[in-house]
Structure 1
Amino acid sequence: MSAKKPPYFRKLSRYYLWYTGCFALFLVALALLEQEGMPRLWIGYIFMFATIALYATIGVIARTSNVTEYYVAGRRVPALFNGMATAADWISAASFISLAGGLYLYGFDSLAYIMGWTGGYVLVALLIAPYLRKFAQYTIPDFLAARYGGGAGGRGGPVRALAVGATIVVSFTYVVAQIYAVGLIASRFTGVDFSVGIFLGLASILVCSFLGGMRGITWTQVAQYIILLVAFLIPTIWLSAKHADNPVPQVAYGSLLPKLAQREAQLAKDPREEQVRAEFRRRADEYTQRIAALPASWEAGKLEAQRALAEVRARNASLGEVRQAERDLNTYPGSADEARTVWQEQRDANLARARPPEPHATPFPGATDAESDKRRNNFLAVVFCLMFGTAALPHILMRAYTTPSVNETRVSVFWTLFFILLIYLTIPALAVLAKYDIYTSLVGSDYSTLPTWISYWANVDKVSPLVNVTDINGDGIVQLAELAIDADVLVLATPEIGGLPYVISGLVAAGGLAAALSTADGLLLAISNALSHDVYYKMVDPGASTQKRVTISKLLLLAVAFIAAYAASQRPADILSLVGAAFSLAGSTLFPVLVLGVFWKRANHTGAIAGMVTGLMVCLWYMLRASPTLGGSLDASWLGIQPLAAGVFGVPAGLLATIVGSLLSAPPSQANLRMVDYIRAPEQES
């Protein structure tokens, strides 16, 4: 540790202590203004634009054109702060927004995400991060090109090109999910259209990453971590104290699970619940009959939609009825094949709502042993993919380059795990607390007394409502089967579910925004750096000046950001599915060549090419084969493994191809062998 580090560390600590204190005063001031009657919409605007202005200010202050500062923050970020920044980079919209919602909907099965992501970071600490820091370059393709392409100064050729391609595919898939979350939050708390909210969020992303690169992103992410931690803990602690008389969520979690199980058993036997479930079974049967009668049923349905529109127009019906009939016709499947896909999805959705609530804490529940085994297989497959995908994510591994030394990188990984666990150990508790609140307070209540948060969230996205409550059996009482909540909504709605002041809802939205923006910043920088450094500088124009390299990176970052925003505005899938796909792709393509490059000297150029291509192709092929969204079918899956866990086949295929390709070709050069010896040798502190 250098002599100059302690003063720098103390200065940073002082800055962020002041920042935390000012943020607390900001919350108190907004709470007082709410008590005085400030409109909710204003509070949403203040939270949205105040946090964006804060991040923009940090980005402006941290602006730089220095290559080392722009790519790796000058390699002088202390371990504690690098841990906070990495945790913010890591706790994405999927963790902050969707994971608790997944646990609410699917119970024990969704613990696979927590186990996989946390275990994956252990792999990062043990297998990759310290060795990357000792290599001391800028990007992951840099490392792979040097390891497999003829020394640290080599261009790497196909290996570098493939690594760049993998970085772009993985990071782009991941960043679309983050920008989707930004649009979701912005539209809910400012009232703007979903697509407009996406492009509003880009302002904060771009001002940090565009002006300051890794330097600006790092100091912004530390500030974002503080916000997202406070935002996640306050409503969870409140619900914990409310339902368990204990402010420690992790302790309340255990005491509340038996009560939740008892309530689940009551709802499973409730006659009114069975009425609603029977109606959903009837609707599912109707879709089954339509599918069986294709293509005649599609033609008859289209004629019926056309007749319905003509009828409402002929009788001068209300504008609302006319628009609904037009919408029904416009959204009607365009062909018999499209109808089959749409009706199968609707049939499956109705069948899912026809099932009684599953016990939250029961591992792999199923009507038969085969169904239970299928769920267990998927659980283990998801854990596997997330672990190995985590250990290969370019935007996370890049942070290993930002610390002053190898030892600081190791310490930084410890701090990262600590800061991640503060959130991850709370997420399962939040899911149970929110579920118990809904099952006991909302279910069984009168429709005339529905809480306002339901109508708020139902109107955020009118194309695909995030919350839907419909009186299916007409008794005027809310049944559990009549309630549909999107996984991406639960955390954002938790303060309103728990009866907290609206200012806490704004705080949680700010936390979700911080989680999405912090990860999006890192992902966009990973893509633009790969294109500018590895493609433009290393492969196109090696004589480019440092100023030109940074300028190219900034321009590419702008282009990628707008393309990703457009993709997110098309609502490609739910956040958790997009993120799962990114992890499978990362693990299949990059993990085998990264870990074998460090620990197996015989791995060579040919093996690396074979491993990356094979891993990517197997992973993509399985996703296309088994994903209904991509034109495949779940019936074509292997062992019932869901498409987002395609990495369970891609990672072994990539490892095997790397080994076979290396053994069937010439051994690596002496320069490659010396490099392996160097990065694995005990480090000498500078």
Structure 2
Amino acid sequence: MEVQTWTYIIVGLTFSLYIGIALWARAGSTKEFYVAGGGVHPIANGLATAADWMSAASFISMAGLISFMGYDGAVYLMGWTGGYVLLALLLAPYLRKFGKFTVPDFIGDRYYSDVARTVAVVCALFVSFTYVAGQMRGVGVVFSRFLEVDINLGVIIGMCIVFFYAVLGGMKGITYTQVAQYCVLIFAFMVPAIFISIQLTGEILPQMGFGGKLIDGSGNFLLDKLDGLNEELGFAAYTSGSKSMQDVFFITAALMVGTAGLPHVIVRFFTVPKVKDARISGGYALVFIAILYTTAPAIAAFARTNLITTVSNQDYVAMPEWFTKWEETGLIAFEDKNNDGKIQYVADKGTNELTIDRDIMVLANPEIADLPNWVIALVAAGGLAAALSTAAGLLLVISTSVSHDLIKKQLKPDITEKGELIWARIAAAVAIIIAGLFGIFPPGFVAQVVAFAFGLAAASFFPAIILGIFNKKMNKEGAIAGMVTGLVFTLSYIIYFKFILDPAENIPSNWIFGISPEGIGTFGMLINFVVSLIVARFYPEPPEEVQNLVEDIRFPRGAGAAAEGH
């Protein structure tokens, strides 16, 4: 069968599964809508957390980044993996013991202030909308190639699917849908990786193939060959780095602490019955995440090797069908500058004739390697699963920030549970429409957009959460000042260098201390900490009951029911 036929079959089956689960697990109360009733098994929650966390950036774009950046792309691996460990060990149990639905709920109650709660809501919306833009774009890329529709139409189709199971099922529907989505995405990620690893190196495990010898009789290691191919074309050696040490540190740190401040991941730890279960599910999630993350560098190297050997200095008219199909999406383009009919893929922008969107590397990899059509279609289904699972989690955060933290806690405290649920669904519907617009008019390629979201989370949420847990004397004035300062600084820096300044001027010599926009969230976080601690000294300490509460959550014993007091 043709790739498109296989894609319709596999994507259709997976979408039917997601919708069926949403119907089965639809939410009937705010507790089910917000935290899936608080009774999810740790293994199921670990699977759902892994799917929630491994977004289109992880599935589609991370390997693409590493494929083009080589060694420099390792910051994404280190940052996101380290960030999850930080979240699971340092924050999740304490927030779970506190027993609130959302991060703004924690901020508002811990800092005894509706102003702090509102600032946290604004931060949550900024982070979530920035992050969800990357997911919707990923959906559009997959649809445009494999279902041969316009990218914008692909985004709209994705919006409709997410609308159905996120608005209907809430966290309960999303949780069990994400369990299925994890199974789909990890299978889709591993199958082509295993195929290509065997093709190139004879190793079944891609992780072993990554450092293995080629079976072409040359006796060369895969990475040695890739270094040679890159250098022949004028690119830096694949295994060498070009970023400064401080920028690598700041980007990695921003991704780490940004992960720990991401509201849609934190809320997952509220869906299990006990604090102990939160820790256990965090451990399971890390194992499930590691399967994909240890495979991504191998896929990046395989894809880069196959791409260069397939297209470089080849006759354009003799290119295989996959090249033409991707050209139709506009995500790969050939301009014959010297009219010789051959593709010159080189580092020199003046003579380079091939433009490639980084986000296509994982999706195009099976086609470049000439794998069976069902494998190509499976990767499309996996990319959709990764993007939709995270998009749903983010949209729920946006929904609950509006319905619970803004309306229930501030504007209409006497609202009924039914009324709050209606507002949650309305907010989710509006959020999906806005997210779709971000997907149609994206501010950058998927992983870059997500990196900005992590930077914003690092600069706004993380210090307020850490100080709220470990410094009982931190008051509302300090926390509010820190969050506002960190968010405004980081957002301004990103907007200036990415959207205002001429791209040619976006160079290390013009950055503060050589820190790129992707890493500035770490600097914003430090500013947040400093401002919070300084401002706090000029205002009274928190009330005694708040200080006692902080003492209590420092010892995460007991269940801490997520719905207590609601």
Q: TM-score range by the shorter chain?
A: over 0.9
Q: Equivalent residue for 1:61? A: 24
Q: AA paired with 1:643?
A: P
- Given candidates 102, 117, 122, the residue that maps to 1:139 is 102
Which structure has the bigger radius of gyration?
A: 1
Tell me how far apart the structure 1 counterparts of residues 165 and 465 of structure 2 sit (CA, whole Å): 29
| 2:203 is the alignment partner of 1:253 | no
Q: How many residues align?
A: 545
Task: Render the CA deviation track for 1:354-393: whole Å, top value 9, x for unaligned.
Answer: xx121111233xxxxxxxxx53332222101100100000
Deviation at 1:629, TM superposition (A): 5.3
Tell me how far apart the structure 1 counterparts of residues 225 and 433 of structure 2 sit (CA, whole Å): 49
| 2:459 is the alignment partner of 1:585 | no
Tell me how far apart the structure 2 counterparts of residues 514 and 131 of structure 1 sit (CA, whole Å): 30
User: Per the alignment, in what secondary structure is the counterpart of residue 468 of structure 1?
Assistant: strand
Deviation at 1:52, TM superposition (A): 1.9
Tell me how far apart the structure 1 counterparts of residues 501 and 266 of structure 2 sit (CA, whole Å): 30
Q: Equivalent residue for 1:647? A: 521
Task: Render the CA deviation track for 1:259-289: whole Å, top value 9, x for unaligned.
Answer: 44345436645xxx6xxxxxxxxxxxxxxxx
Task: Render the CA deviation track for 1:56-112: whole Å, top value 9, x for unaligned.
Answer: 111111112211111101111111111110000000001100111101111000110
User: Per the alignment, in what secondary structure is the counterpart of residue 665 of structure 1?
Assistant: coil
Q: Is the contact made by 1:48 and 1:186 (CA closer than 8 Å) also made in structure 2?
A: no
Q: Equivalent residue for 2:272? A: 403
Tell me how far apart the structure 2 counterparts of residues 506 and 266 of structure 1 sit (CA, whole Å): 29
Tell me how far apart the structure 1 counterparts of residues 342 and 148 of structure 2 sit (CA, whole Å): 30
Deviation at 1:476, TM superposition (A): 4.0
After TM superposition, the score normalised by the length of structure 2 is 0.93
Q: Is the contact made by 1:453 and 1:496 (CA closer than 8 Å) also made in structure 2?
A: yes
User: 1:51–1:265: structure 2 CA closer, same or farther, 3 Å change rule?
Assistant: same
Deviation at 1:231, TM superposition (A): 0.2
Q: Equivalent residue for 1:513? A: 384
User: Per the alignment, in what secondary structure is the counterpart of residue 493 of structure 1?
Assistant: helix
* Structure 1: runs of 5+ lacking an equivalent: 1-33, 150-155, 274-355, 365-373
Tell me how far apart the structure 2 counterparts of residues 184 and 442 of structure 1 sit (CA, whole Å): 21
Tell me how far apart the structure 2 counterparts of residues 546 and 227 of structure 1 sit (CA, whole Å): 35
Deviation at 1:475, TM superposition (A): 4.1
- Given candidates 479, 494, 506, the residue that maps to 1:634 is 506
User: 1:263–1:495: structure 2 CA closer, same or farther, 3 Å change rule?
Assistant: closer
Q: Is the contact made by 1:267 and 1:480 (CA closer than 8 Å) also made in structure 2?
A: no
| 2:466 is the alignment partner of 1:466 | no
Tell me how far apart the structure 1 counterparts of residues 502 and 272 of structure 2 sit (CA, whole Å): 45
User: Per the alignment, in what secondary structure is the counterpart of residue 459 of structure 1?
Assistant: helix
Q: AA paired with 1:532?
A: S
- Given candidates 483, 489, 497, the residue that maps to 2:368 is 497
Tell me how far apart the structure 1 counterparts of residues 230 and 49 of structure 2 sit (CA, whole Å): 42
- 1:364-513 maps to which residues of 2 (within 5 A)? 364=242, 374-460=243-329, 465-481=330-346, 482-513=353-384
Moved more, 673-682 or 113-122: 673-682
User: 1:594–1:685: structure 2 CA closer, same or farther, 3 Å change rule?
Assistant: closer
Q: Is the contact made by 2:128 and 2:398 (CA closer than 8 Å) also made in structure 1?
A: yes
User: 1:499–1:184: structure 2 CA closer, same or farther, 3 Å change rule?
Assistant: same
Q: Equivalent residue for 1:227? A: 184
Tell me how far apart the structure 2 counterparts of residues 357 and 685 of structure 1 sit (CA, whole Å): 54
Q: Is the contact made by 2:203 and 2:212 (CA closer than 8 Å) also made in structure 1?
A: no
Tell me how far apart the structure 2 counterparts of residues 607 and 228 of structure 1 sit (CA, whole Å): 42
Q: Equivalent residue for 2:404? A: 533
Tell me how far apart the structure 1 counterparts of residues 129 and 229 of structure 2 sit (CA, whole Å): 45
Q: AA paired with 1:362?
A: S
* Structure 2: runs of 5+ lacking an equivalent: 214-219, 347-352, 561-566
Tell me how far apart the structure 1 counterparts of residues 17 and 490 of structure 2 sit (CA, whole Å): 40
- 1:565-576 maps to which residues of 2 (within 5 A)? 565-576=436-447
Task: Render the CA deviation track for 1:414-446: whole Å, top value 9, x for unaligned.
Answer: 111111100000000011111222233433433
Q: Is the contact made by 1:65 and 1:547 (CA closer than 8 Å) also made in structure 2?
A: no
User: Per the alignment, in what secondary structure is the counterpart of residue 211 of structure 2?
Assistant: helix
Moved more, 535-544 or 40-49: 40-49
User: Per the alignment, in what secondary structure is the counterpart of residue 557 of structure 2?
Assistant: coil
After TM superposition, the score normalised by the length of structure 1 is 0.77
Q: Equivalent residue for 1:203? A: 160
Tell me how far apart the structure 2 counterparts of residues 120 and 95 of structure 1 sit (CA, whole Å): 14
Tell me how far apart the structure 2 counterparts of residues 198 and 580 of structure 1 sit (CA, whole Å): 21
Q: Is the contact made by 2:275 and 2:556 (CA closer than 8 Å) also made in structure 1?
A: no
